Amino acid sequence: MTTLLQPALTPDEWRQRRAGAVSVDAVGDETHVVITDPDGQLVSVNGADALHALAALANEALPNDEARKLTWTDLVVISMLVERLDRRHSHTTRLTSLAAGLYAKLAALLPPP
């Protein structure tokens, strides 16, 4: 039994690239995540490293009991599933490689174990 999670954004929010006080805006040639505080002041984050850090910190800010929070347990599940792959099938090498890439992306968003 899988608990279905609601998408982070509605289709309309995806089209607008905006959800509440958070938006994605182009500033010249750069893409920025812009956050508006309650006083109407803007904070802007751009650049791959800063945006990646923002994603990691946003995940960390979620409560520990939040189903949408990415955890090391989630990565253990990926590892366990990969270990159970039948290595006799030709597609297993490609699937293992894709899973390793996914694991690395997700692990990069988590604090050290």
Q: Is pLDDT above 80 for 1?
A: no
Alpha-carbon span 103 to 90, nearest angstrom: 21
DSSP 42-101: EEEEESHHHHHHHHHHHHHHS-TT-TT---HHHHHHHHHHHHTS-TTSTHHHHHHHHHHH
Average pLDDT for 90-110: 93
Give the per-residue pLDDT at 86: 82
The per-residue pLDDT for range 58-90, each reduced to its tens digit, is 999 999 999 999 999 999 999 999 988 888 888
pLDDT interval class at 102 (50, 70, 90): very high
The predicted model scores a pTM of: 0.86
